[in-house]
Each structure stands twice: as structure tokens, then as C-alpha cells.
Amino acid sequence: MLKAGTIEKTFENGTSWRFFLFGATAQDAMLEAIKGATKSIEIEQYIWSNDEIGIQFFQELISKAKAGVAIRLLCDHVGSFDFFSSEWPGKLRDAGAKVRFFNIISPWRVANFTAWYFRNHRKTMVIDNKVAFIGGVGIRKDIRKWRDTHLSITGDIVDAMKTNFDDIWNKSKRRNIFLLRKWFRKMRKFNLLTNVPHFFQRHIYHVLVDNIRSARHSILLTTPYFIPDGRLFRALRLAAKRGVEVKLIIPEKSDVMFFNIAAYSYIEPALKAGIRVFLFQNGILHAKTAVIDGKWATVGSLNLDTLSLLWNYEANIESTDKKFVDELAGHFETDLKTSREVIYSEWKNRPFFDKMLQYLSYPLHRFL
């Protein structure tokens, strides 16, 4: 079982990184990085709550702002509505920090289904233009117990993340959020990929599908929400049918119950195609990773659901660095030890009520 700690820092090709495998260790590392900042802090965050963990971050940011550190904080209006509606944005601005909220909508629409679309789901942070954080961890107390994957990283990738932040920061001010730069920048072994809800800017989605289509040996996927669009699911089934070992880890119990029901509706056709499905049983699974053929990997904020793949703003790192890829593959193998494989002969005999709920979820898949 994975312990609630970090994976030791690794250096390769001028880039260093450290993985954090639980919300608590990722949040603690980000807070320590903020405390050590001397020049600038840029944060892009989907979930930021006004609870005891969120307040710890607010207080440290206020202290840094008063000390002269340049701070820019961009939070999603819906995901961070608790923060938006609190006194903390004003306190941060009074201290000298710049605070903006992405795609602000009318408050009475926050709980509306349509408010889920065009959200900034990214979770990135850049400190002093030297070190960056990226992954799936938000700022909220209950997230501390979740199994997630977040990392800190140095090297050329930090410049790309800083420039990407500048772009979305500037566009969010003018609310011109659909005209972002083309963020697909090829580097040597590490690359920043982003998703924007425009066909020609869904870079994570297109790169992931292309790698699945070209896979020859193995595909290892971990996701908290598995509600893929037809193109992605077809690519996975075709890969399994041509002999690629496809393994998928999803949570046995998700933090969003209806998403769990929708994800379960894909299990039977996945098993029929030869995809091996595993249900994670050690608490809430929120990690979002992919490893293909042991040669390519990606990690970040992208879920394998329609919202993330097509309609929200996401940020991932992709890498062909062997040590990086091997570490993510190692996390996957460790998670398998606390996951239960779904056996087709047992799954097809699941209770009729479960089958009906999963069947009734189908019309909503394109909206999830």
C-alpha cells in the first residue's frame, strides 16, 4: 500500500521532480514552497475552499504579499465559489496580491448543471520562476486523505508553465477565454500540454488518443472518473483487441456517486473488448495518469470524462524520460495491490437494480 508520503526527488537531463501521492503531502509541499518564495508566486487552482487548509494558504500568501513577493492567484469561480464568496479575496488584495476568478457567472447559476462547462480545472503553481507544481490536488481539507498524484518540477518546463499562466491570466481579465495560445510545445523529454474547449486546442486529448492508437505493448490508465467519449473508448477497445495489454484503475467508490454509476456502465463493454478493469479500494482515488508502452507518460488535471476531455481547461505534463515514466508505472503497479480486478463472469451477474441505474445514465454521458 502507498504510504502518505513523497517519492524521493529524481534528477534527469537537467530536470528534477518529486511526486506526491496523497493530498496531504502535496498540500504541505506547496505551502512550504510558498513560505520559501522570495520573488513571485503564480497559482492556478480549480478547488480552493474557505476551510482550515484554505485559510492556512491565505494567511501565508498575505504574509508573502506584505513582504513584497508578487502574487497572482487565478481560481475557478465555480470550483472555488466558497473562496469567492468569502472575505479572503479582499484581504489578499488589501495585502497587495492580485486575485482573479475564471469565467465568473451569476451566483444563482453555481449549482446549475450548465455551470460545470468551460471551467478552469487546472491545478498549477509556479514559485520564483524556478519550481512548478502540477497535478490533481486542490486546496480543501478532505482532499488531504485522497490518493492523488501531484508533483514539483524544475527545468525548462517551468518557463512553459509560467508563460501559459501569463496567457490565461491576461485572457481571463478580458474574459476572452476561448482565444488562448496554442499550448503544445515540444521539448526534449518534458512537455506541457493543455486542453481548451476548442477542437484545435484539445492537445492533451489528441496526444493521448494518438499514443493509445500507436501503443504496441501496454496501456496503464488511472482516473477517478471514467466516462470517455466515443473516440477515446473506441481507441482503447481496438488497442486491447490487437493484443495490447490495457489496464484501467478506477475507484470502487468515487467522491461523486453519479459519476461512479456512469463509469460502471462502461465496465461490461470494456471487459468484452479485453480491457482489464480494477476497482481501487483504499479510499478516494483522484489520480490522473497514463503510461503507454513504458516509453510515454502523462500526469496532471485531466480526467477521462467528457467534461475534462472536451469542455474544460486542463494542464498536464507529458514525458518520454525513462525514470519519470518508470516512476509513474511503479505507482500504478502499487495501486493494483489495493485494487480488485473485475471478472466478467461475476460482473454480468451484478444486481438488476445496478444494471438499470447504469443503463439510465447513458443519455447523460456526453454531458459528464
Catalytic residues: 121, 123, 128, 286, 288, 293
| 312's grid cell | 474544460
Q: How many angstroms separate the CA atoms of 266 and 135, rounded? A: 25
Residue 116, CA atoms < 13 Å, CB-side half-sphere: 12
Mind spelling out the 3-state secondary structure of the chain? CCCCCECCCEEECCEEEEEEEEHHHHHHHHHHHHHHCCCEEEEEECCECCCHHHHHHHHHHHHHHHCCCEEEEEEECCCCHHHHCCCHHHHHHHHCCEEEEECCCCHHHCCCHHHHCCCECCCEEEECCCEEEEECCCECHHHHHCEEEEEEEECHHHHHHHHHHHHHHHHHHHCCCCCCCCCECCCCCEEEEEECCCHHHEHHHHHHHHHHHHCCCEEEEECCCEECCHHHHHHHHHHHHCCCEEEEEEECCCCCHHHHHHHHCCHHHHHHHCCEEEEECCCCECCCEEEECCCEEEEECCCEEHHHHHHCEEEEEEECCHHHHHHHHHHHHHHHCCEEECCHHHHCCCCHHHHHHHHHCHHHHHHC
